[in-house]
């Protein structure tokens, strides 16, 4: 996260509690700590209690996809059409309300018989519908299989039995990305996070996020390192180069019993990144003409 944004949030927190005391620096990158300590009235001898945000049970898959929505998510539409109620419960995060609505409309138009299995969540979703979605997210036996959402589906939400998350268009910052990934696998069961992007998406993300797409080593190490202390970084390195870490490490795994989760199998079965390089210079994220009821004023991150 941008250091100026961090300081602004902390100054607001300090105004509410001017004296020193216990402070929560959730998802604070370690290189920001020296700069924010004075803002929180913390002295040099302050005791720091850190908890690693790394979740070894979540595998990271980073892939460039085609700028056309039809090609980029054909694997998901095909999987939902085939599996229906057996489709793995999944959250798809989009950057804007417009993206969310377009994705929802495309999927439900292609497979209208699955409309009861899919829903979307953003800041403009009616309260009654939000409550219904939240009930489905909290129920381990709910029929809801796919939720397409913005960051409005955020922290403090107890999501049960969801083991797949798709970030469609990378988050602006590593903090945002980490929070969205952390919505799944909360019971420590094997889970997967698919981080999908095209060249248009990269125009609005921060430098740290963009570097992940160019990383040739461990994806998880690239994302997590700035949040970990030296001891936790070493622990993370001990779990890399295995198939359950990330797509890059999976190519080096020598365990002999490599396995993958259903969401990965669906993605690779049709290859959601097919012809991605052919659209590298495209200015179009996907065909917004599929959504006529939303204008550019809805192109906001909520």
Count other C-beta atoms under 10 Å from residue 174's C-beta.
24
Supply the pLDDT for residue 169.
93
CATH of domain 58-292: 3.40.50.300
Residue 46 has what pLDDT? 73
CA dist 78 and 73 (Å) reads 9
Chain CA centroid to CA 103, Å: 16
Distance CA 93, CA 109 (A): 19
Task: Give CA–CA dist 76/74, Å, rounded.
Answer: 5
pLDDT in tens, the chain (302 residues): 555 555 555 455 444 445 555 445 555 555 555 666 666 667 777 776 777 888 999 999 999 999 988 899 999 999 999 999 999 999 999 999 999 999 999 999 999 999 999 999 999 999 999 999 999 999 998 999 999 999 999 866 788 999 999 999 998 899 899 999 999 999 999 999 999 999 889 988 889 999 999 998 999 999 998 889 889 999 898 888 899 999 999 999 999 999 999 999 999 987 544 454 444 444 444 443 444 344 444 555 56
Sequence-distant (6+) residues with CB within 8 A of 36 are 6, 7, 10, 25, 28
Nearest CA among 75, 125, 129, 82 for reference residue 101 = 125
Q: What are phi and psi of 124, to 5 degrees?
A: -95, 0
Predicted local confidence at residue 272, as pLDDT: 47
- pLDDT one-digit tens code per residue, 95-149: 999 999 999 999 999 999 999 999 999 999 999 999 999 999 999 989 999 999 9
What is residue 192's DSSP assignment? Answer: E
Q: What is the pLDDT of residue 162?
A: 95
Residues 6 or more apart whose CB falls under 8 angstroms from that of 268 comprise: 260
For residue 265, what is the DSSP state? H
Q: DSSP assignment of 207-248, as one string?
A: HHHHHHHH--S-HHHHHHGGGS-HHHHHHHHHT-SSTTTBHH
Residue 70's pLDDT is 87
For position 9, what pLDDT does the model report?
54
Q: In angstroms, rounded to a whole number, what is the distance separating the alpha carbons of residues 133 and 119?
A: 7
Alpha helices in the chain (DSSP H): 3-16, 33-36, 69-72, 74-83, 97-110, 127-138, 174-181, 207-214, 219-224, 230-238, 247-250, 262-270
- CATH code 3.40.50.300 region(s) in the chain: 58-292
Report whether 116 contacts 143 (CB < 8 A).
yes
Residue 291 pLDDT:
41
């Amino acid at each position: 996260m941008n250091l100026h944004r961090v300081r602004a949030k902390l100054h607001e927190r300090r105004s509410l509690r001017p004296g020193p005391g216990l402070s929560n620096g959730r998802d604070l990158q370690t290189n920001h700590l020296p700069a924010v300590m004075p803002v929180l009235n913390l002295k040099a001898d302050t005791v720091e209690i850190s908890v690693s945000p790394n979740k070894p049970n979540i595998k990271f898959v980073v892939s460039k996809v085609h700028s056309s929505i039809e090609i980029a998510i054909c694997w998901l539409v095909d999987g939902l059409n085939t599996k229906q109620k057996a489709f793995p419960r999944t959250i798809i995060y989009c950057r804007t309300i417009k993206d969310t609505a377009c994705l929802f409309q495309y999927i439900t138009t292609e497979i209208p018989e699955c409309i009861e299995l899919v829903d979307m969540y953003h800041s403009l979703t009616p309260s009654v519908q939000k409550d219904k979605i939240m009930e489905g997210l909290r129920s381990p036996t709910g029929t809801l299989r796919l939720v397409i959402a913005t960051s409005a589906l955020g922290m403090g939400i107890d999501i049960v039995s969801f083991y797949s998350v798709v970030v469609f268009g990378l988050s602006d910052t590593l903090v945002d990305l980490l929070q969205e990934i952390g919505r799944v696998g909360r019971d420590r069961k094997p889970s997967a996070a698919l981080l999908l992007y095209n060249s248009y998406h990269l125009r609005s993300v921060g430098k740290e996020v963009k570097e992940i797409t160019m990383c040739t080593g461990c994806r998880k190490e690239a994302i997590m390192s700035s949040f970990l202390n030296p001891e936790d970084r070493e622990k993370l390195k001990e779990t890399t180069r295995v198939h359950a870490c990330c797509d890059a490490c999976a190519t080096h795994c020598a365990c002999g019993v490599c396995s993958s989760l259903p969401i990965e199998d669906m993605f690779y079965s049709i290859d959601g990144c097919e012809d991605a390089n052919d659209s590298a210079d495209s200015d179009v994220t996907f065909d917004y003409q599929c959504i006529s009821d939303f204008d550019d004023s809805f192109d906001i991150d909520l």
